[in-house]
Amino acid sequence: MDAESQPPAEIFSIYLVHPYHRINYIWRIRSVKEDFPKERSLALDGVTMSFTQEFFAQGRNQHDNIKRLGKDLISTFHRFVSNIPINDNEFLNQLENEYNIFHSKVQDMQIEKINEVLEYISKRYILKKEYRSFFGIRSTLDEKKAHFAERMFMQKVFTADIFKEEFFSHFSDFIAGIDEQMKRNISDNIEIKIREFARNFEILMSEKKNVIIKIITDIRSKVDPIRLSVMKYEYNGDLDAEIQQKTQWEIVYEDIINNEELDLKQIIGFADDFVLITIGLKKSLRLMIITSKNYVTRALPNFFPDNNTVIASGSNEHCTILMQNTLNRAFIGCLSDDRFIISKEITIYSEIVKEISSAAYIQSNKELFIINTSGNFSAIKLGEKPLSDSRHVVPTTYRNISASLCQRFIVLISISEVYVFSYNLQLIYQEYTIPYYAGMRGNKFDQIFMTSINDISGSTIELDAEKRIPIGGSQITMSRIDAEYRRTIRLAADIFSVMLRDQNFAQHESKRINPRTEVEEAKEEEKEERNKREEERKNK
C-alpha cells in the first residue's frame, strides 16, 4: 500500500483491530432496532410498584430517605437500560416536590379533623380556659390545643385509638364535670372524624400514587430500544468478499440500550486475556466501557462522563491513564470491582496539547507519549511539564501511537511511515507504509491494511527489542528512499532517540534540530540528483 492509498477515514469509525489471547481480531459494533423485552418490562413494573409503596411509607421530614430511594431507582433504571434518558436532578426534584405536596395535604386534613373534634366538644361541653395542676403548674387551653396538634403530627399513623389516647391525656382536666358517658360521646365523634380522614387519605394516596407512577412511566416511555452487539472476527489473512455476512462474527457482548448514535472508540489491552472496549454515546455524551477478561464480557455499571475520552495504551487495571478531551482533564485511576477509582489528577493539557487522539504510556519510566488531533507529537514525564513536542521539528503528520502489553515496544504511525521503538526509545524498525493497524503481539510486529472490509491484507515479522532491523525492512525499495524520506527518517529518529531520552531532556533546547536546515539540505540533494540525471541524459 503506497502513501497515496490511505484507509478511508470512515472505516476507522466502524472497525478496530486488536489482539485478544495473542490472536488478531477485527472488532465492530452493531445496533438493531428491537422491541423492549417483555420480561424486562414486567420486571420494571414490579420495581415501580415496590418503589411507590416505599415512597408513601415514608413519614414527614424524611427527605434524605426520599432522595436515597430516588437514587436507588435511577440505578435500577440503568441496570435495565444503561443509557436511559433521565435527568437525575430533575427526577429527584420531582419526587421531592410530590413528597412535600402529599405530606402538606395530609397535614391539612389532620388539622381539619383536630379542629372539628375540638369544635364539637367546645359546643357540647364547658371548657376551662386554664388549669393548674396539683404542683401548681399552670396550663392554658390554647397551649394544650397546640401541644395536642404537635403530638398528633408526630405520630406515624393517624388512628382513632391514638387520637383518643392523646385527646383525653391533654383535655380531660379542661372539660368540666367529665364522666364516662361524656367520654363515650367524645370517642364516638373521634371515630367518625377519623373514618372521614381515612377515606380522604385513601383518595389522596391514590391520586398521588398515579402521579408518581406517571413520572416513572414518562421516563420509561422515552426509551427507544435497540440491541447493541459487540462483535469480533478472527483475522487469519483469509477474508473473502462476503465477510459481513459470515457467521464467524462472534458476538462477545449484547444488551438493550436506548437508541442513539454510537462510536467504537478504542480497544485497549490490559493483558493478553483482558481488553477494554470503549463506545462513545454521541447524544448523551458519555463513554460506555466494556471489559472482556478471559472470555467473560460485561459492561461497567457507570458510564464515564465524557464520550471524548482517550485511554492510553500501556495502561493496565492497576494504573490507567484517562484523558477527558472535553474538560481538558486527565487522571490516573485503577479498575476495581467493575468501577474506575480515580487516584489523582495529572497535568497533561496545555496550550500545545488541547485535544488528544492517541496516547501510549511506559510505566517503568512514567512517560506518556501523546498525539493531538492536529497530528502533533508530545512527550510528558508524569508530574513534570511537557518534555517536548514535534511542531518545530517535523511535519504534523502523526496518526497513532501505542505501547505493547509487554512494555518493550512503542509503535508510531504517521501518514507516510510506521516506526517501532524499544521501551528506552531506540529505533528498531521503520517502514514506508500506511497500515490501517500496526501493533505488537509479543515479539511479532503486525501490520494490517484495509481500504474496506472486503479489501484486507497483512504482514507479520519478528522483532528483537535489542536489535535494529535496517530501515524499511523488505518492502522498502531504493526508489522510495528519496531525499524527503531520508529527511523524515532522520528527524523522526532524532525525536525519539535524542529529544525524549531522560538524560537529554534538559539539553533539548540547545540540541534542537533546525527543520529549516534539514529542508534546505533535502532541496540541495534533490537539485544534485536532478542535475546528475540531466547530465546523464545529455551524455546519451
Domain count, the chain: 2
* pLDDT over 60 at 505, yes or no: no
User: Which is more confident, 219 or 13?
Assistant: 219
| Residue 477 located in a structural domain | yes
| Residue 270 located in a structural domain | no
| pLDDT per position as a tens digit, 121-140 | 888 888 788 777 666 677 78
Is residue 215 domain-shared with residue 351, that is, in the same domain? no
* pLDDT over 70 at 361, yes or no: yes
Residue 312 has a CB neighbour count (10 Å cut-off) of 27
Q: What is the dihedral angle through the alpha carbons of 364, 417, 311, 86, rounded to the nearest 10 degrees?
A: 180
| pLDDT per position as a tens digit, 463-478 | 986 666 655 444 332 2
Is residue 179 domain-shared with residue 314, that is, in the same domain? no
| Residue 50 located in a structural domain | yes
Is residue 46 domain-shared with residue 180, that is, in the same domain? yes
What per-residue confidence (pLDDT) applies to 90? 96
What per-residue confidence (pLDDT) applies to 365? 87
What DSSP letter does each residue of 35-47 carry, written as one string? Answer: PPPHHHHHHHHHH
Distance CA 124, CA 122 (A): 6
Q: What is the dihedral angle through the alpha carbons of 502, 507, 513, 514, rounded to the nearest 10 degrees?
A: 150
Specify whether the CB–CB gap between 289 and 300 falls below 8 A.
Answer: yes
C-alpha 289: how far from chain center: 7
What per-residue confidence (pLDDT) applies to 309? 96
* pLDDT over 70 at 386, yes or no: no
Is residue 211 domain-shared with residue 99, that is, in the same domain? yes
| pLDDT per position as a tens digit, 10-51 | 444 478 999 999 999 999 999 999 999 999 999 999 999 999
Residue 372 burial (C-beta neighbours within 10 Å; 0-12, 13-18, 19+)? buried
| Confidence grade of residue 177 (pLDDT, cut at 50, 70, 90) | confident
Is residue 195 domain-shared with residue 310, that is, in the same domain? no
* pLDDT over 80 at 487, yes or no: no
Is residue 53 domain-shared with residue 194, that is, in the same domain? yes
* pLDDT over 80 at 295, yes or no: yes
Is residue 365 domain-shared with residue 462, that is, in the same domain? yes
Of the candidates 221, 245, 268, which is a domain's last residue? 221
* pLDDT over 60 at 497, yes or no: no
Is residue 172 domain-shared with residue 68, that is, in the same domain? yes
* pLDDT over 70 at 149, yes or no: yes
| pLDDT per position as a tens digit, 226-271 | 999 999 998 876 555 455 455 578 999 999 999 999 999 999 999 9
| Residue 276 located in a structural domain | no
pTM: 0.75
Of the candidates 221, 238, 260, which is a domain's last residue? 221
Which residues touch 482 (CB under 8 Å, ≥6 apart)?
526
| Residue 260 located in a structural domain | no
Q: What is the CATH number of the domain that holds 454?
A: 2.130.10
Q: What is the mean pLDDT of residues 336-350?
A: 91
| Residue 385 located in a structural domain | yes
The edge-to-edge listing of strands for the beta sheet with 262-271 is 262-271, 274-281, 286-293, 296-299
Distance CA 255, CA 88 (A): 22
Is residue 326 domain-shared with residue 215, that is, in the same domain? no
Task: Tell me which residue range forms the domain holding 474.
Answer: 284-289+299-532
Q: With residue 201 as reference, give the H or E element that holds it.
A: helix 180-221
| Residue 28 located in a structural domain | no
| Residue 393 located in a structural domain | yes
